[in-house]
Structure 1
Amino acid sequence: MAHPQTAPVLVADIGGTNTRVALADGTMVRAETVTKFRNAEYPSLDKVLRTYLERVGGTVSGACVALAGPTRDGVGSLTNLDWRMDEALLRDATGAAHVALLNDLVAQGYALGDIAPGALTPVIARPAPARTETCLMIGIGTGFNAAAVLHTPGGRHVCPSEAGHANLPVRTERELRLCRFVETAHGFPAVEDVLSGRGIERVHAFLAADPDRAVPPAAEIMARAAAGDRHALDTLELFIGLMGTVAGNLSLIHLPFGGVYLVGGVARAMGPYLEQMSFAEAFANKGRFAGFMRQFPVWLLEDDFAALTGCAAYLAQGAHHGAGSPTS
């Protein structure tokens, strides 16, 4: 199918519960076209995409989908969603010549450079870095992950990982006891077992005086913290301390002089508490490298459309280089 050069691209962001789909021109997402679909109401991704295109009409020149799970060789998967997701399906469902499937955090990495300044809240302020410096995305939501963003002569390159499944770091006796507490979930104390939505609940249970007491959901723990509940605030303080430690560890590995970007619903929920609960101190607490850590600015990214923007930017980068598929 031939597409006019002015045809928009289709971008989508698949979560465990909802999928958001939109049209974009270049790197600009058309906000008025963003539509949310409940995954449980559709049997497959192609049905969602076909339904969307029937509603908006017209054709698209490209399609890029971000999902909260690993992708490789044009195939992706979600732990809690039994949908087939691959690039062949995207072509069939959209008729687009240029298609791509990205991890959602990788997609947000491609959005850097197209994020509105008002969507970035400084957590650790530093002088503005050069745009060519390495950046680091750290996503904390339903799960945990990180992705380095490199600036190369061929364009932006975002490196996927599964950082949430690395060992939870241990520096104190209490943190060791926390590791032993959370490893009962599957025999291994992973970063994601604490630094995630369900991790908030596990930390709250770990700190409970009565281990048999029912654990409230993460949203309720956050509400109790906002109301001044001491147990909830202690939960957030331990969570944020580990959040700073892990972010600092990842920064030493990737050297993100271009900045660390905290993204995801849990990261945003922690935003009001990061300063008072010493995130910056935990981030920089690296012994003789504490001074070195002061070179890394940290921002909280508060843009719900970042993954959609990143999908558009990924396709635009490929178009700029004249390739059927962007550098990835």
Structure 2
Amino acid sequence: MPKHAPDTLSLVADVGGTNTRVALADGPVLLPETVRKYRNADYAGLETVLRTYVQDEDGVDCTAAAVAVAGPVRDGRGELTNLDWYIDRDTVARATGAERISVLNDLQAQGFAAGMTAPENLRTVIEGPEADPRATRLVIGVGTGFNIAPVFETPGGRLVPPSEAGHANIPLRTDEELRLLRFVETTHGFPGVEDVLSGRGLEHVYAWRRAEAGDPAEKRAADIMADCESGADPAAVEAVQWFVRILGTVAGNLSLIHLPFGGVYLIGGVARAVTPYFEHFGFAEAFRDKGRFSGFMKNFGVFVIEDDFAALNGLASHLAE
């Protein structure tokens, strides 16, 4: 007998720059025991990954499939920002044999998961007032890249429009921040949000602090975080401090644009790594530093999602809707 009944389950895949996670879902319910992770460098493209997964799951015959892509998606065709892969509905259909196909940006998938996170996987950064479950939410992803997904509850269901917010200009106010912008612009080209608020962005901030001190040097993001924790490198501590404050400023700006009275949700490996420093390095103060609207910013709670399967859950929810 086949491992799974034919034409009953959905396949969901979260395609990142380094790894792809694939799983099966029964309606909106993710089946955790079916989650598998594949290293992208070992495969020619997503079609090969999905075919491998189908074989690994005893040739499962899926009724639907949804893929989240870490890059821009338009008309069912996605391109990864940090990997030379192109993904479209036909590719997913060939690999899975599914009849219904959906291709989303990865932050859209996270948006469809908003409100589904178990309490033990949700860390409160800034307390907010009790929210109406129909209120708008905002998901902010800080990891290999940076992006957002506003989440709107409508009479026709949940709406999560795509975005590429990480490639907008970084907002700056002070002379010192302007020097950071010039440093990033000179060294790395266009100074976008992602060039400061991401893994490589943290590396840029560190290199800038070392250059400002007249002692140029570079360091990988993981090493910066380790040296910040140990206090072994003052420049690493400064870099994380700057990162946290700028993240607070940007998250506050985005909250004023989208009015997420249902909460702001930070996701991604870098967001999780810097969360222990939010209180000490002034995230909340930067988030609320909006002049005469500073009091208004108390309407928005801020949370960190610590769930590696959130995007997969969101894809399952999206297909079920």
Could you report, residue by residue, the CA deviation over 1:147-174 in whole angstroms, capped at 9, with x for unpaired residues?
1100001111112111111111111111
| TM-score normalised by the chain length of structure 1 | 0.93
Is 1:297 paired with 2:301?
A: yes
Conservation of the 8 A alpha-carbon contact between 1:4 and 1:61: no
**TM-fit CA distance, 1:29:** 1.4
Q: Which position in structure 2 is the counterpart of 1:43?
A: 44
What TM-score do the two structures reach when normalised by structure 2? 0.94
What is the alpha-carbon distance in structure 2 between the residues aligned to residue 300 and residue 133 of structure 1? 18
1:66-119 deviations in whole A, cap 9, x for unaligned? 111010100000133233310111111111111101111110000113221211
Partner of 1:190: 192
Correspondence for 2:217 among 200, 214, 218: 214
Q: Which residue of structure 2 lines up, in the alignment, with residue 24 of structure 1?
A: 25
Distance 1:96 1:211, change over 3 A: farther
| Cα distance in 1, alignment partners of residues 224 and 254 from structure 2 | 27
CA distance in 1, matches of 2:86, 2:165: 24
Residue 259 (structure 1) aligns with: 263
Gaps of 5+ in 1: 318-328
1:162-189 deviations in Å (ceiling 9; x for gaps): 1111111111111011111111245422
One-letter identity of the residue aligned with 2:154: T
How much does 1:4 deviate? 7.0
SS at match of 1:274: helix
Cross-structure match for 1:241: 245
Of 101, 126, 151 in structure 1, the residue corresponding to residue 128 of structure 2 is 126
Counterpart-to-counterpart distance in 1, 2:219 and 2:8: 48
Shift of 1:6: 7.0
Q: Tell me which moved more, 53-62 or 206-215.
A: 206-215
Q: How does 1:8-157 map to 2 (within 5 A)?
A: 8-57=9-58, 58-157=60-159
Structure 1 runs of 4+ aligned residues shifted over 4 Å read 3-6, 209-212
The answer on whether the counterparts of 2:136 and 2:153 sit within 8 Å (CA) in structure 1 is yes
Give the drift of 1:282: 0.2
Q: Name the SS for the 2:181 alignment partner.
A: helix
How far, CA to CA, are the matches of 1:159 and 1:288 in structure 2? 30
Which residue number corresponds to residue 226 of structure 1?
A: 229
Structure 2 regions of 5+ residues with no counterpart?
Answer: none
Aligned to 1:279: 283
Q: Is the 8 A contact 1:122 1:299 kept in 2?
A: yes
CA distance in 1, matches of 2:7, 2:49: 24
* Contact 1:65–1:102 (8 Å) recurs in 2: yes
Decide whether the 8 Å contact of 2:80 with 2:86 is kept in 1.
Answer: no
Q: Percent identity?
A: 58
Q: Which residue identity does 1:79 align to in structure 2?
A: T
CA distance in 2, matches of 1:273, 1:27: 35
Native 8 Å contact 2:129 2:300 kept in 1: no
The whole-number CA distance in structure 1 between the counterparts of 2:214 and 2:142 is 26
Q: Cα distance 1:213–1:98, how it changes in 2: closer, same or farther (>3 A)?
A: same
Q: What is the aligned partner in structure 2 of residue 312 from structure 1?
A: 316
Q: In the TM superposition, what is the alpha-carbon distance from 1:255 to its structure 2 partner?
A: 0.4
